Amino acid sequence: MRAITLESVPSAPAVAEVDTPRPEAGELLVKVAAASLNGIDLATAAGYTQAFMEHRYPLVLGQDFAGTVEALGEGVEGFAVGDAVFGVVLKPYLGAGSLAQYVTVPAGHGAARIPAGLKVGDAGALGVAGATALVSLDAVALGEDETLLISGASGGVGSLAVQLAAARGAKVIATARPGAQTDFVTGLTGAEVHVVDFTGDLEGQVRAIAPEGVDAVLHLAGDGAQLAALLRPGGQLASTTGLTQDAVKGQDVTIHTIMANPDPRILTSLAEQVASGALRVPVTATYPLEQAPEAFAAFGAGTPGKIAVSCS
C-alpha cells in the first residue's frame, strides 16, 4: 500500500510502498478514506518523540483516520465489515499510522462509527483535535457566562475549542494574528468571540475585556506562565503543551496538564455534534496522499484550522 513514511528521524516524510497491515486479535483493518495532520506527526519527523516512545520503521505517520472496516481481527465484537468508522490510532509505539491506504486500530479504544451527517473528510480531521478540545474544556469545568481565554485559537484544537466553548455559553477571548487568521477565528461560530492579537500586547488586550482576570485558559500555544498570570485567583488552566503546576508556584490557580484520551464516548459525542450542525470541523486545506509532503510543509508554515489528507 502507499503510505507516508519515515526511514529514520529526523527526516522529511516521503510517500512510499509498504506492506499492508493485518489486524491482530481485537483490531479492525480500516481502508482509510481520510486522515489529517497533527503536531505529533511533525514532532515525530523532527525526532522529538523518540526519547519517550518506541519507533518502528519504516514508520508510517498519522493518528487521525476515517474510512471503512475492511476486516476484523479475532474476537472483535460490535463492528462489522463495511462499517464507516473514524477515530485515533492509539498504539504503544509509533509506526503503524493512518497516513496510508490501510491502518489497523484497536476496536475497543479510539474508534467509533461515523453517523449520517458527518462527512468522511471531516471525520478524518476530527479525532485528535476534537478530543483534545473537549477534554481540555472539561478539565477547566467551564460554566456558562464564564470567561475563557483560548491561546492558539487559530489552530486545529483551538478552532474546535472556540466553537465548543461558545456553545457552552462562555465568553470567549481567542488569540489570532491580525488579518486572515483573525477573520478565520471570527467566522468559526455565530456567537460573539473577542479576538486578541497574540503578536501584540496580549495582557493589555485581555485585561481590557476581563479586568479582574479570566476564569479559565486553554493553553494550546504561547507562554504558559504569562497566560496563567491572566487568570483570576482560583482560575484554571488546561495545557496541551506540557505546562505543569510547578510553573505557577505561589499563585492561586490550578493547572491541568492534558493528555487527550479519545475514547469511543468522546468520539461519538463529537461526531453527533458535527452531524447535528452544532459543530463544524474546520478543514481549511485537503491534500491527496501522494502530496502529503506538501501538506507537512503547509502545516509547518502555519495553516489555520485542520489540514486533511485524502487517502483513497
Q: In the bound complex, what is the minimum distance in angstroms from residue 290's beta carbon to ligand NAP?
A: 23
Q: Looking at beta carbons only, is 181 or 254 nearer to ligand NAP? A: 181
62-85 b/e (C-beta count within 10 Å ≥ 16 → b): bbbbbbbbbebbeebeebeeebbb
The answer to whether 92 and 109 have CB atoms below 8 angstroms apart is no
* Segment lying near ligand NAP (by CB under 6 A), choices 15-23, 97-105, 106-114, 151-159: 151-159
Q: Which three cell numbers stand for residue 268?
A: 461519538
Exposed, middle or buried by CB within 10 Å (0-12, 13-18, 19+), for 173? buried
Min CB(83)–ligand NAP separation in Å? 26
Task: By CB under 6 A, name the one of 68, 132, 147, 273 that touches ligand NAP.
Answer: 132
Closer residue to ligand NAP in complex, CB, 205/268? 205
Cα–Cα distances in angstroms (integers) from residue 28 to residues 115, 264, 265, in the given order: 18, 14, 18
Q: Which of 222, 225, 251, 285 binds ligand NAP (CB under 6 A)?
A: 222
- Least Cβ distance, residue 306 to ligand NAP (angstroms): 7
* Shortest Å distance, C-beta 129 to ligand NAP: 5
List 62, 158, 213, 262, residue binding ligand NAP (CB under 6 A): 158
Return the residues of window 26-45 that contact ligand NAP according to CB under 6 A. 38-39
Q: Where are the alpha helices (DSSP H) in the chain?
A: 39-45, 120-123, 127-139, 156-167, 180-186, 202-209, 224-228, 264-275, 292-301
Distance from C-alpha of 53 to C-alpha of 120, rounded to nearest angstrom: 29
All 3 cell numbers of residue 160? 474546535
Minimum distance of ligand NAP from residue 78's CB (angstroms): 25
Instruction: Give the sign of the dihedral formed by CA 28, CA 38, CA 306, CA 204.
Output: positive
- The label of the residue with cell 472556540 reads 162
* Residues of this chain, 185-204, that bind ligand NAP according to CB under 6 A: 198
Please select the residue that binds ligand NAP; options are 6, 45, 89, 128, rule is CB under 6 A: 128
State how far the alpha carbon of 161 is from the alpha carbons of 46, 172, 205, 220, in Å: 27, 10, 20, 10
User: Is 177 among the residues that bind ligand NAP (CB under 6 A)?
Assistant: yes
CB of 260 to ligand NAP, least distance (A): 4
Q: How many residues bind ligand NAP (CB under 6 A)?
A: 26
Nearer to ligand NAP, 102 or 184 (CB): 184
Q: Which of residues 246-305 bind ligand NAP (CB under 6 A)?
A: 258-260, 302, 304
Cβ neighbours of 277 (radius 10 Å)? 8
| Cα 223 from Cα 220, distance rounded (Å) | 10
Binder of ligand NAP out of 23, 87, 155, 235 (CB under 6 A): 155
Q: Which residue is nearest to ligand NAP (CB)?
A: 155
Question: Using CB under 6 A as the criterion, which residues of the chain lie in contact with ligand NAP when the complex forms?
Answer: 38-39, 128-129, 132, 151-152, 154-158, 175, 177, 181, 198, 220-222, 240-241, 258-260, 302, 304
